[in-house]
């Protein structure tokens, strides 16, 4: 029997139980990071998802070279990751409710936001407005994609503007913060939602613990940036277990219908 070790409590979890429990540790409730395909499967009604913006892909337009070229990094990441970039967008149903759905993937270059993430969120926003259906985005990201230079910073502006139009059209916008969500994504589309839901223990901050440690020269408290601390500080609406997310989203979507 294949076994997995919980990243938090180190206890062994049988593979079957792990999958049935949606990659949440049955002993300590630690929510393990999952890729966008798995997230889609446990969120959208079966066969309800139609992908949008499939035809766009990242390009090394700056010839960015650190110890490797961005082009090469993209090639390597595409072979490993579950997606072609750090987000998948499309239309879907959640318990029969139509939504414009975006799901980010931390496995693709740390969920970093470059031109493609920005453009896909714009496409999704326009779709949400065109169909007059709520916008739901699952966030996870280490921040902006440095290999696209200042253009990656501009994606913060681009996504806020696109989603701003969704909000002006009085269409509900809900984000689900998953572990980890930080940097440019936190300081743009993740935090302008009407409702912000977080998974338990998800790290949700602008500057990550490592950056904070450099500034204050000591370790930040263990709960720094956690969903629980954010709830206490009034930065998120609720913390919802992965197993209850679908029901919670469906309920909210029904409530917004008035």
Partner 1 sequence: MDLKKLEEIPKNYLKEILGSLSKLEKLKKIPFFTGIHFKDAERALERKIETYKSVERDARRVWKIVELSRNDNRPQCRDYIKGIFEDFVDLSGDRLTGEDKSIIAGLGKINGRTVAAIGHNKGKDIKERMIYNFGMGIPQGYRKSQRIMELADRFGFPIVTFIDTPGAYPAIEAEDDGQAGAIAKSISVMFKVKVPIIVVLVGEGGSGGALALAIGNEVAMLENSTYSVISPEGCAAILWKNPSGTKLAARELRLTSGDLLKLKIIDRVIPEPLGGAQNAPERMVKIVKRYVTGALERYVRISGDELKSAKASKFESMGFFNKE
d(CA 104, CA 197): 15
Residue 24: phi and psi, rounded to 5, are -105, 135
Sign of CA dihedral 229, 251, 257, 162: positive
CB of 181 to partner 1, least distance (A): 9
Q: Based on CB atoms, which residue is closest to partner 1, 93 or 147?
A: 147
Dist CA 142 CA 192 (whole Å): 18
Using CB under 5 A, count the residues that bind Zn ion.
7
- Min dist CB 17 to Zn ion, Å, is 12
Measured from the CB of residue 47, what is the shortest distance to Zn ion in angstroms? 33
Residues that bind partner 1 (CB under 8 A): 55-59, 61-62, 64-67, 114-116, 118-119, 122, 144, 146, 148-158, 160-162, 164-165, 182-184, 186-192, 204-207, 211-212, 214-216, 220-221, 224-225, 229, 233-235
Select 33 or 188, whichever has its Cβ closest to partner 1.
188
Buried b (16+ CB within 10 A) or exposed e, 131-159: eebbbbbbbbbbbbbebbeebbbebbebb
Q: Are 173 and 166 in contact (CB under 8 A)?
A: yes
The least CB distance from residue 221 to partner 1, in Å, is 7
249 binds, among partner 1, Zn ion, none (CB under 5 to 8 A by kind): none
| Residue closer to partner 1, measured from CB, 25 or 109 | 109
């Amino acid at each position: 029997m294949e076994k997995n070790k919980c990243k938090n409590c180190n206890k062994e979890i049988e593979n079957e139980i792990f999958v049935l429990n949606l990659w949440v540790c049955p002993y300590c409730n630690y929510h393990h990071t999952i890729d966008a395909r798995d997230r889609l499967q446990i969120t959208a009604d079966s066969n309800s998802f139609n992908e949008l913006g499939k035809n766009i892909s990242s390009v090394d337009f700056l010839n960015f070279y650190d110890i490797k070229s961005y082009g090469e990094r993209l090639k390597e990441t595409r072979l490993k990751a579950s997606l072609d970039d750090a987000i998948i967008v499309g239309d879907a149903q959640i318990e029969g409710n139509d939504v414009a759905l975006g799901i980010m993937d931390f496995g693709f270059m740390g969920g970093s936001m470059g031109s493609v993430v920005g453009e896909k969120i714009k496409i999704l926003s326009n779709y949400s407005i065109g169909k007059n259906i709520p916008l739901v985005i699952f966030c996870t990201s280490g921040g902006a994609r440095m290999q696209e230079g200042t253009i990656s910073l501009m994606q913060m502006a681009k996504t806020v503007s696109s989603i701003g139009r969704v909000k002006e059209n009085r269409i509900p916008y809900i984000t689900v913060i998953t572990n980890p969500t930080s940097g440019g994504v936190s300081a743009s589309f993740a935090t302008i939602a009407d409702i912000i839901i977080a998974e338990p223990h998800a790290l949700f901050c602008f500057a990550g613990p490592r950056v904070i440690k450099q500034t204050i020269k000591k370790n930040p408290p263990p709960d720094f940036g956690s969903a629980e601390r954010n709830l206490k500080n009034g930065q998120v609406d609720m913390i919802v277990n992965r197993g209850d997310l679908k029901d919670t989203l469906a309920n909210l979507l029904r409530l917004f219908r008035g």
